[in-house]
Structure 1
Amino acid sequence: MLDLLDHALRSAPERPAVLGATLTGHVRVRATRGELAGLADAYASSLYARGLRTGDTVGVAVRPGPRALAVLLALWRLGLRGAVLDPGAGPDVLCSRLSLARPSLVLADATAQAVAGWARPLAARARLTLPDLAELAPVATVGRRLPGCAPALEAARTRIPVTDHGDGDAVIVFTSGTTSRPKAVVHTRSSLSAGMDTVRALFSAHPDEPVVGGTFFVLVPALTQGAPVALPARSPRVLSRQLHRLRPQGTYLTPPQLRDALRAGAPFTGRVWTGSAPASAELLDRVRKAGAAEAWGVYALTELFPAAAVESRQKAAYDGAGDLVGTPLPGVEARTDDAGELLLAGAAARHRCLGDDPDPWVRTGDRAHLDAAGRIVLEGRCKDMVLRRAENIYPGLYEPSLHVPGVELAVLVGVPAGDGDERLVAVVEPRPGYTEQQLRTALAYPMRRMGSARPDALLFAPVPLSGRSRKPDRAATAELAAVRLR
């Protein structure tokens, strides 16, 4: 797919590729197809001149857009492995992920560095953030530099030989684990291409008609088919104006983005797709009433994207127990184990988790069953994962940092916030002799370092325990938090 995209960009270099929006919703071209191809060539040449070769790992902390897509194309061309880094995860988690991936270089834009607050420490091998870590990769800034940023990725015009990279690793995406042992999903070149092929078949974009979406799995297939892609505006009001002016043939937004856009009075056209978080039949129906010809919910995981899809009318017609997410897409196999956990396999499935042996079956962490028509019906999550505004938050990453002096026990739980979303709540049990104010002061610093996983609420109460081992009862803790927050 990425080879096809590279060819498609060069065949019509004057046509728009990536679009943005002004505050009034007017369309502006952020990059033409030729500019995108040229940027990818420049990045590939620079990386090759630095000595990076097939199989090397490059960390990537670049916001979605033309530069991020050009970086992906450059890594693909050189056979490099990209490790996707989220600066919002907080410096401790970020550094543990860097130490596991061991990239030869980290590419980061100025905004990503500023948001993370680790521009200077990481440029100095992160000694101020994690002083016991001996080595971290050097950093190069992609795009405009700001004060305190790492040096820019230098320009080069090195000729790159044509090489068959085989089916090596293409990308690493971190999903869960603990700070001491992060979990990293590894996709090969073939699994990444298979996932994008499936998305291309789902979207089936027409040339020259705009598509709205910000993820690689929207950008790459749509551009390959000749459709320009508009990055969705962050402001719901601007997004509403953007959708009104573009009248896109297809739109991909997360459920929180859809809810915000609907509240802003956004009109929809063509087919609308949503994923990354549960989408209720009611939400999809609201999208159709706002003008969409079709509204689809996509069931996908980092380990296998996409796995299934369901249109709003089919979802609304389902009256059984559980959440219907649709028939497995072509090439996807689905079954459940004895405990009822959903297992998936297929060409688009990840190859392995970093440090583990390959396994064709992906454990989703979701309880489910297959109905008589072979459709996947979810029954709840096996994991402790909390889903907030389309972001997966894994408590095990952050709970240890909450155990400051004076804390007997601390648990992060999700409390339903409506329409599939959750609030993240920290329930902290004080040790005798410590006041709530003392603990609030002590917890302020570790909570600041949690980045985008910072809790929505902090409650002080005894944490319920269960079982012979007296482990925290997360379900009971979530119920406690829900009652206290009413």
Structure 2
Amino acid sequence: MLDLLDHALRAAPEKPAVLGATRTGRSRVRATRGELAGLADAYASSLYARGLRPGDTVGVAVRPGPRALAVLLALWRLGLRGAVLDPGAGPDVLRARLASARPSLVLADAAAQAVAGWARPLAARARLALPALDEFGTVATVGRRLPGCAPALGRAAVRVPTRDHADGDAVIVFTSGTTSRPRAVVHTRSGLAAGMETVAALIGARPGEPVVGGTFFVLVPSLAQGAPVALPARSPKVLARQLRRLCPQDTYLTPPQLRDALRAGARFTGRVWTGSAPASADLLGRIRDAGAAEAWGVYALTELFPAAAVESRDKAAFEGAGDLVGPPLPGVEVRTEGGELLLTGPAARHRYLGEAPDRWVRTGDRAHLDVTGRIVLEGRCKDMVLRRAENIYPGLYEPALQVPGVELAVLVGVPAGDGDERLVAVVQPRAGHAEAQLRSALAGPLRRMGSARPDALVFAEVPLSGRSRKPDRTATALLAAERLAAKEAAR
């Protein structure tokens, strides 16, 4: 897929590749297809001139966009392994990740270096933090260089030899883990290509028609198929204007981005895809009500992207317990072990860094297959709540709480003494929906939960965390405990 993209960019160099948005939502060309190919050539030549060779590791701390994509193409061409460095992980975790990946060189844009330097106090307010720049080892600046930045990667008039890099490592993506043992997913060249080919077959972008999305798994297949890609605006209001002006054939946004866009009055066209965090049938239905022809939830992991997909109509029609995420996509194999979902396939990660290869990915999700072979999630194994000697898996019941007017609903355990827990439903109302109205709407679903019925119902904004802004269950449990304690003290 990346080889195909490289060829496709050069076949139509004058056409737009990556688009941005002005404050009014109008599109501006961030890079043409020829400019993107030229950037990749320049980066590849410079990296080769620095002595980097197949198998070497390069850290990447570059914001999503044309430069980040050009870096990926350059690393691919040279057979280098990219290690993704996320400034939102915190300095201690990043130090451990750098020690684990041991990059020969770190490529960073001026923004990442500012977070690690003079802008550290400002970045801390946005929950961004990096170790000091001198802790990165050898650093080169990609893009515009500002005072205080490392030397520029530069351009080198060096011819890069054409080689067959076989099936070596392509990328390291860190997912979770403590500072002492960071968890790192290693994808090989064939695995990365297989994942992108699955996305290309799933979406099937049409040449010349814009796609909205910011991840590599959207950028690469769409550009390879001849479609320009618009990076979604950060501001929900600007994003709403951007969608109205572009009328994209396909849009990929995370559930939090979709909820923010809906609150800003966004209208959708074509197909809308979402993943990275749970997407309820209610949310997908609201997307279709806002104009989308289809609204799809994609089940994916860092270890295997994508694994399954479900359209809003099928999700809404599902009446069983749990969260329907759809049939496994072509090539994906499924089994369960002790209730936990295991996946494998051509796009599965090769191994975790420092560990032996393992064909099967343990998802950490409890799940079962329905009679038609579709995957139904029952919740995270680690999120189990123990109440009165009964194991309760929140994901099995949370979809039933997504009644109209509910933005988010999470079930958490709050310590009740003697090792037992109270089960609490924390519900975030949508704007304009009163708590009394929602209590009435939730009465039926709560009754039908039987022995898993919550001990208490708390209305509050659900805390989010991480790059994909998933519900933070630890913070939600703490919030629930505080609210319940305050309520009991007021009696």
**Shared fold by TM > 0.5?**
yes
Q: Hey, what's the Cα distance between the residues in 1 that align with 2:250 and 2:140?
A: 35
Calculate the TM-score normalised by the size of structure 1: 0.79
1:483 aligns with 2:488: no
* Shift in CA distance, 456/336, structure 1 to aligned 2, threshold 3 Å: closer
Please state how far the C-alpha of 1:154 moved relative to its aligned partner. Answer: 1.9
Give yes or no for contact 1:88–1:116 (8 Å, CA) kept in 2.
Answer: no
Q: Judging changes above 3 Å, is the alpha-carbon distance between structure 1 residues 307 and 457 closer, same or farther for their aligned structure 2 residues?
A: closer
Instruction: Select which of 438, 441, 463 maps to 1:423.
Output: 463
Change (3 A) 1:272 1:316: same
* Counterpart code for 2:208: D
**Cα offsets for 1:131-177 (capped at 9, x unmatched):** xxxxx531111111223222211211110111110100000000111
Query: In the TM superposition, what are the counterparts of 1:146-295 in structure 2 within 5 Å?
Result: 146-295=146-295
Match of 2:300 in 1: 300
Q: Give the 3-state SS of the residue equivalent to 1:328 in structure 2.
A: coil
- In 2, the alpha carbon distance for the partners of 1:10 and 1:273 equals 29
Q: Residues 416 and 38 of structure 1: is their aligned pair in 2 closer, same or farther, counting only changes over 3 Å?
A: farther
Partner of 1:383: 382
Q: CA RMSD in A?
A: 2.9
Give the match for residue 407 of structure 2.
none
Amino acid across the alignment from 1:171? V
User: Take 1:62 and 1:217, find their aligned partners in 2: how far apart are those partners?
Assistant: 16
1:204 and 1:482, CA in 2 relative to 1: closer, same or farther beyond 3 A?
farther
C-alpha change, 1:94 and 1:374, in structure 2 (3 Å) is: same
Count of aligned pairs between the two proteins? 410
Can you list the C-alpha shifts for 1:41-64, whole angstroms capped at 9, x where unaligned? 000000000000000000001111
Q: Quote the offset at 1:476 in angstroms.
A: 7.5
CA distance in 2, matches of 1:328, 1:457: 27
TM-score by length of 2: 0.79
Q: How far has the Cα of 1:457 moved from its partner?
A: 12
Q: What residue is the counterpart of 1:352 in the other structure?
A: 351
Q: In 2, Cα distance between the equivalents of 1:12 and 1:23?
A: 29
Q: For 2:467 and 2:277, locate their aligned partners in 1 and report how far apart those are by CA, in whole Å.
A: 20
Q: Which runs of 5+ in 2 are unaligned?
A: 121-129, 385-393, 396-423, 431-460
Q: CA, structure 1 residues 358+38, in 2 after alignment: closer, same or farther (shift >3 Å)?
A: same
What runs of 5+ residues in structure 1 fail to find an aligned partner?
127-135, 388-413, 426-449, 460-474
1:386-397 mapped onto 2 (5 Å cutoff): none
Within 5 A, what are the aligned runs for 1:433-452? none
Superposition deviation, residue 384 in structure 1: 5.7
Question: Could you tell me which amino acid in structure 1 is paired with residue 366 of structure 2?
Answer: R
| Structure 1 position 7, deviation (Å) | 0.2
Task: Kindly provide the amino acid, as one letter, of the partner of residue 195 in structure 2.
Answer: G
* Equivalent residue, structure 1, for 2:88: 88
One-letter code aligned to 1:210: P
Q: Tell me the distance in 2 between the aligned counterparts of 1:417 and 1:115.
A: 35
CA distance in 2, matches of 1:148, 1:269: 44
Does the CA contact (< 8 Å) of 2:92 and 2:131 recur in 1? no
CA separation in 2, counterparts of 1:224 and 1:171? 20
CA 1:119–1:152: 2 relative to 1, 3 Å: farther
SS at match of 2:42: helix
Residue 125 of structure 1 deviates from its aligned partner by 3.2
Name the counterpart of 1:100. 100
Question: Is the counterpart of residue 368 in structure 1 residue 408 in structure 2?
Answer: no
In the alignment, the residues of structure 1 paired with residue 152 and residue 486 of structure 2 have an alpha-carbon distance, to the nearest angstrom, of: 47
Using the alignment, how far apart are the partners of 1:364 and 1:178 within structure 2? 18
